[in-house]
Amino acid sequence: MSIERLTYRVGQIEEFTTGYLEGFELVFNKQGDNGSAYANIKYRGAGYRCPFVAYSVTQEQLEDLDHYEGEPYHYIRLGIPFKTANIEKMQLGHIYIAQPNKLTDDALVDEDYLNKIRQGYHQYGFDADF
């Protein structure tokens, strides 16, 4: 969610919007190669919502991001419709969901990694008490 981290990976980002994915929850159940858990989103249904930042990127930037996210071996990139508070019509965005064979229930989240996610939440005005 951090613009600095994304810019490092794919270059300059010109536009973005924020909102919530209704029915989804941020979870840490993706097994990393280093043994720790990484972020994932999970569909939970009514009553759940997950903050998001949708960045406008080029096709080349999206392919670069696929490389960093380990798509398709670690995460699967999916197109998903979303709506923001300031734009009434639905838009299409991309999300990364962990491959089913990469899920874990017993790995711990690295504190530095968790702090990067918290920084992104703060940067965009979301409650970081997830």
Residues 21-68: tens digit of each pLDDT: 989 999 999 999 999 999 999 999 999 999 999 999 999 999 999 999
pLDDT of residue 8 exceeding 90: yes
With respect to residue 60, please indicate whether it lies within any of the assigned structural domains. Answer: yes
DSSP H/E element including 21: strand 15-22
How many domains, the chain? Answer: 1
Q: Residue 111: its pLDDT value, please?
A: 95
118 — pLDDT class (breaks 50, 70, 90):
very high
**Residue 97 structural domain:** 3-123
Mean pLDDT score of the chain, rounded to an integer? Answer: 92
Cα gap 44→23, rounded to integer Å: 5
65, part of any domain: yes
Q: In this predicted structure, what is the pLDDT of residue 83?
A: 78
Amino acid at 106: D
DSSP per-residue letters across 51-84: EEEEEE--HHHHHHHHHHHTTTTTEEEEEEEEEE
Rounded to two decimals, the pTM is 0.89
Q: Check which CATH number belongs to the domain holding 111 and give it.
A: 3.10.490.10
Q: Within a domain: residue 129? A: no
130 lies in some domain:
no
Cα 18 to Cα 56: distance, rounded to the nearest angstrom = 11
What's at 122, amino acid-wise?
A: H
